[in-house]
Amino acid sequence: MTAQNQQEEKILPKEPLDFPREPLDLPSGKEDRLKSESAQHESIPHPNEIRTILQWTAPGRPFRKRSKQYYLTSLLIMLLVEVILFLFSQYLLMLVVFSLVFVAFALATVAPSDFKYRISTEGITVEDHFFLWQELYDFYFKKREGIDVVHIRTHSFIPGELTITLGNTDREHVKSALLPYLPYREVIKPTFMEKSADWLTKNFPLEKTPNE
């Protein structure tokens, strides 16, 4: 071996022999422990991961099948109002009254289709519409047509409030899913329109309820 070859051999670094070349060189049981720790780390959800908290399917609005008495009483009241407006030559209001009664009959006749509702860590999905938690204000529950409904108010004027029917979903499940993100309003003061509607329904019912 020449002097030049000896000098190159001294310059080149030697490969360390104390490092494990393959996983098989690891001590017994260490490889299994590393695999177990890696699998456990992968199973822990990431804090920023989008998760579905609760989802259900329910009719798009509260619906109750009406009896013939409801339609007959509504028609009689409409005719009485139309005659009074006709005597005062309020033809535009006559058209408005007829339109409102027509819409009420359509809503009472046609059953609503089912909507898909989903509560996630990012917000609420109603069919194809998604609302971030930052866009929502608070929520409360009410019964409409004998069905539990959750009302979620928004910061913006439009839509102003989301009306979501619960269907067969328990109210407490929905409440526990919403509480980490929105404040719950236990008491809601009824508006003037709601008070007037309740008074009319109580004193001038359009149909008899089954309990009556």
Q: Output the domain CATH number for residue 142.
A: 2.30.29.30
Range of the domain at 165: 50-61+113-199
- With respect to residue 161, please indicate whether it lies within any of the assigned structural domains: yes
Do residue 159 and residue 54 come from a single domain? yes
Task: Check: CB of residue 116 under 8 Å from CB of residue 57.
Answer: yes
Considering the domain architecture, whether residues 161 and 179 belong to the same structural domain is answered as yes
- Looking at the fold, whether 117 and 167 belong to one and the same domain comes out as yes
* pLDDT tens, the chain, 212 aa long: 555 555 555 555 555 555 555 554 445 555 556 555 555 555 555 566 889 999 999 999 988 888 899 899 999 999 999 999 999 999 999 999 999 999 999 999 998 999 999 999 999 999 989 999 999 999 999 988 888 999 999 999 888 999 999 989 999 999 999 999 999 999 888 888 878 878 877 877 777 765 54
Using a 10 angstrom Cβ sphere, with 0-12 exposed, 13-18 middle and 19 or more buried, the burial of residue 122 is middle
The strands making up 52-59's β-sheet, listed across from edge to edge, are: 52-59, 114-120, 123-126, 129-132
Query: Do residues 121 and 187 both lie within one domain?
Result: yes
pTM: 0.68
